[in-house]
Structure 1
Amino acid sequence: MAFIDYCDRNRILLMVFPPHSTHTLQPLDVVLFKPLSQAYTQRLTTYLHEAQELISIARGDFFGLFWDAWVSVFSRETLISKAFETTGIWPKDPNVVLKRFTRTPERSPSSSRLSPSDWLQMERLVRAAVKDTRQDEAKKLSLTLHQVSVQNQLLQHENRGLHKALQHQKKYKKKGKALDLQQRQEYHGGAIFWSPRKVREARAREKVRADDEMEEKLQKARRKESREAAKVQRQIELEDRRAERERLKVVREKEKAEKQAERERQKQQRNAEKAIQLS
């Protein structure tokens, strides 16, 4: 919320994009950094291709390749204004972005088309189309088709293995939780334009959240205080019961001692009476 307040104080219009969408919605990423990355990759690939991959990239080679890519991308004067237009921010046009994700339906393949992995059917087709299969051209065509079929099967096998490995890796990825600053009743695709009205609403929600958090802390403090008071009360009761047990123990011991003394006195008295009678 502090960042939103900063933008509001400095008259900065804030936009929040959905996760993993800056490459499509962020003006600098779309018009500047993505073309820069592509241009640098192209020059690096060309450099390695011309060198037949016999030499490695040294530290001194980086700036030359990067500078050529930088000049080719950042030399246009209308680059900044085009960045906002390409991402549909100004003039506002969501279709500029949406049409990139519109997929044209693919034509269904013809039923007569053969799969590259179906080697036997392609071999029969070659024999049916070529009159003399003993010619060198026919043999080369058959061998080429066989190599293409084998390579296709190997690539499919590798692709399936990589796909399984990727699915296995995704199981252990932990998804982050995005900061929830918008009302849940609003439907959107994840992108938010923080207008002054939305900033005020966000502040109100933040105040409610802070009040709820403070109330919860107060309730926890009250519950803790109640538990401490109950603990002290139980301790006092335990001490009272212990003191009462000690008092009763002393009384019992005193009564026991008095009874023992009385028995001794009576015994001595009987002995004295017997002595008088005998004398």
Structure 2
Amino acid sequence: MKPSLATVADRLWQYALLARLDRPVGNFLLLWPMLWALWIAAEGFPQPLVLGVFVLGVLVMRAAGCVINDYADRNIDLHVKRTKERPLTAGRITSKEALIVFALLGLTAFGLVLLMNTLTIQLAFVGIVLAATYPFMKRYTYLPQVHLGAAFGWAVPMAFAAQTGTVPQIAWLVFLAAVIWATIYDTQYAMVDRDDDLKIGVKSTAILFGEHDRLIIGLLQLLMLACLVLIGVQAGMSAVYYWSVALGGLFFVYQQYLIYSRERDNCFRAFLNNMWFGGAIFVGVLLHYGYH
């Protein structure tokens, strides 16, 4: 018997939930560093094909990363308050379905990158390895947030390669900023689950930092701002960019206020606030190249 339209619609909705299409914040956290990189590489508006491929590619790879993360954590997520109702963990879809969705998303991303030059394609293989291995890192290291930063930030050297055919020094500085930033916001995210993670033996920077979490996050935030200033100096940015960095600093101060009590909801709000931080930096980059 053929499945009903309602049944098909429900399956598609479960796949959408699996890929976090209902949670767009993660998309922005990946998009912002990539967009910083593209505009700096192009010294203005990038090639339309490169921009289109990278925006679509980031969205597809973020979805693929969410799928493989849920597959890797399908048993762990049962014991975490925030994640126990995810489609795979709750049994609304099967592990086989999740792997099929991941494969389709991965093939789509690879098809997109084939439109780029050889160097970009070569770098893409490193990105695939980083994305596929990240979900398993929390079992072996207290620094999965750093690994996530490398996976998220790998779009930066790829963007430079696609736009310019090279990966200059400034590209690695932007990549470093992306890794530091991801470590900041994903540590805030991990603070939400710290109690559950301690019970089940999952590792994170939130657990590693312990009672020094706020201080270390603060130091990382200062390091992030210093990286952004160095990027501005190397790229010859004008004052409008540095004003955006200053605004980013205010967002970081607000995040420190939110995580001060280490309450779950406020730590999650601090994590979400990073979407605006990344957007503020991009506006500064955009305005610089738009008016100079």
- Give the TM-score normalised by the residue count of structure 1: 0.19
Q: Which has the higher contact order (CA 8 A, sep 6+)?
A: 1
Greater helix proportion = 2
Which of these two proteins has the greater Rg computed from alpha carbons? Answer: 1
